[in-house]
Copies of this chain bind each other. A is one copy, B any other.
Amino acid sequence: MSDTLVVVGGDAAGLSAASKAKREDPEMDVVVFEKGQWVSYAACGMPYYVKGDVPELADLVALTPEEIREERDIDLRTGHEVVAVDTGSQTVTVAADGERFDQAYDHLLIGTGASAVVPPFHGTDLDGVFTIHDMDEADAIERYVTERAPETAAIVGGGYVGIEMAEALSARGLDVSLYEMLPNVLQPFGEAVADVVEDHLREQGVDLHLETAVSGFAGEGRVEAVQLDGGESHAADVAVVGVGVRPNVVLAEDAGIELGPTGAIAIDEYGRTSAANVYAAGDCAENVHVVTGEPDYVPLALTANRAGRAIGQTLTGSPTAIGETAGTAIVKAFDLGAARTGILDEERASDAGFDPVSVTITDATRAHYYPGSEEIQVTLVADRETGAVLGGSVVGRDGAKRIDTVATALHGGLTVTELQNADLAYAPPFSPVWDPVLTAAKVLAGKLER
Give the interface of A toward B (CB within 8 A). Answer: 12, 42, 44-45, 48, 53-54, 59-60, 62, 160, 290, 298, 300-303, 305-306, 318, 321-332, 337, 339, 341, 367-371, 399-405, 407-414, 418-431, 433-435, 437-438, 449
Q: By the criterion CB–CB under 8 Å, are B430 and A323 in contact? A: no
| Residues on B with beta carbons closer than 8 Å to the beta carbon of A62 | 368
Interchain residue pairs A-B with the least CB separation, the first 9: A412-B412, A323-B421, A330-B425, A326-B423, A408-B408, A59-B369, A328-B423, A332-B429, A404-B424
> Taking the nearest CB of chain B, how far is it from the CB of A389, in angstroms?
10
| Residues on B with beta carbons closer than 8 Å to the beta carbon of A433 | 12, 42, 301-302, 305
CA distance A101 to B127 in the complex (A): 89
CA distance A423 to B412 in the complex (A): 11
| Residues on B with beta carbons closer than 8 Å to the beta carbon of A435 | 404
CB-nearest residue of chain B relative to A320?
B417
| Residues on B with beta carbons closer than 8 Å to the beta carbon of A305 | 433-434
| Residues on B with beta carbons closer than 8 Å to the beta carbon of A303 | 423
Q: Could you name 17 residue pairs across A and B whose Cβ atoms are closer than 8 Å?
A: A42-B433, A301-B433, A302-B433, A306-B421, A326-B422, A328-B423, A330-B425, A332-B427, A401-B425, A401-B431, A403-B425, A404-B424, A404-B435, A404-B437, A408-B408, A408-B422, A411-B418
CA distance A60 to B425 in the complex (A): 19
Q: By the criterion CB–CB under 8 Å, are B369 and A54 in contact? A: yes
Q: By the criterion CB–CB under 8 Å, are A411 and B407 in contact? A: no
Q: Which of B45, B53, B318, B370 contacts A449 (CB 8 A)?
A: B318
Q: By the criterion CB–CB under 8 Å, are B401 and A411 in contact? A: no
| Residues on B with beta carbons closer than 8 Å to the beta carbon of A341 | 423, 425
Q: By the criterion CB–CB under 8 Å, are A370 and B53 in contact? A: yes
Q: By the criterion CB–CB under 8 Å, are B401 and A53 in contact? A: no
CA distance A290 to B305 in the complex (A): 32
Q: By the criterion CB–CB under 8 Å, are B427 and A330 in contact? A: yes
CA distance A438 to B404 in the complex (A): 11
Q: By the criterion CB–CB under 8 Å, are B45 and A328 in contact? A: no
| Residues on B with beta carbons closer than 8 Å to the beta carbon of A60 | 369
Given contacts A44-B427, A434-B305, contact A409 B412 (CB under 8 A): yes
Given contacts A302-B434, A399-B401, contact A424 B412 (CB under 8 A): no
> Taking the nearest CB of chain B, how far is it from the CB of A61, in angstroms?
9
Q: By the criterion CB–CB under 8 Å, are A430 and B411 in contact? A: no
CA distance A298 to B368 in the complex (A): 23
| Residues on B with beta carbons closer than 8 Å to the beta carbon of A412 | 408-409, 411-414, 418
Q: By the criterion CB–CB under 8 Å, are B425 and A404 in contact? A: yes
Q: By the criterion CB–CB under 8 Å, are B428 and A48 in contact? A: yes
Given contacts A302-B433, A370-B45, contact A425 B405 (CB under 8 A): no
